[in-house]
Amino acid sequence: MISKLPKWVEYCAFILAMTAGFVNGIGLLGFEHQAISHLSGTATLIGTDLINNHPVKLAHLVSILASFFGGALLSGLILKDGTLSLGRRYDVLLIAEAALLFGAIYPMANHAVFGLYLAAGACGIQNGLVTSYSGAIVRTTHITGVITDLGLMFGARLRGEALNRRKLVLFLVITVGFISGGMLSAVLYPALGALVFVFPGIVCVLLAAIYRFNMHRTRIRLKSLGGDQTRG
Is 82 within 8 Å of 132 (Cβ atoms)? yes
Alpha-carbon Rg of the chain, whole angstroms?
19
CA neighbor of 101 nearest in space, from 196, 206, 209: 196
- Residue 77, Cβ density class (10 Å: 0-12 exposed, 13-18 middle, ≥19 buried): exposed
CB atoms near residue 4 (< 10 Å): 8
- Distance between CA 3 and CA 139 in Å, rounded? 18
Show the beta-strand stretches assigned E in the chain.
132-133, 136-137
Is 29 within 8 Å of 35 (Cβ atoms)? no
Q: What per-residue confidence (pLDDT) applies to 1?
A: 44
Inter-helix orientation angle 7-29/165-192, to 10°: 40
| Residue 136 β-bridge partners | 133
Q: Which residues contact 181 (CB under 8 A, 6 or more apart)?
A: 17, 18, 19, 20, 21, 22, 23, 24, 25
- Distance between CA 46 and CA 6 in Å, rounded? 40
- The letter for the amino acid at 31 is F
Q: What per-residue confidence (pLDDT) applies to 134?
A: 46
Q: What per-residue confidence (pLDDT) applies to 232?
A: 44
In tens digits, what is the pLDDT along the chain, a chain of 232 residues?
A: 445 556 777 888 899 999 999 999 999 998 888 889 988 899 999 999 999 988 999 999 999 999 999 999 998 888 876 666 666 788 999 999 999 999 999 999 999 999 999 999 999 999 888 665 545 567 788 888 889 989 999 999 999 998 888 888 888 999 999 999 999 999 999 999 999 999 999 999 999 999 888 887 777 776 777 655 454 4
CA neighbor of 164 nearest in space, from 174, 154, 177: 154
Looking from the CA of 86 toward its CB, the CA atoms found within 13 Å total 16
CA neighbor of 111 nearest in space, from 3, 221, 205, 194: 194
Q: Whole-prediction pTM value? A: 0.85
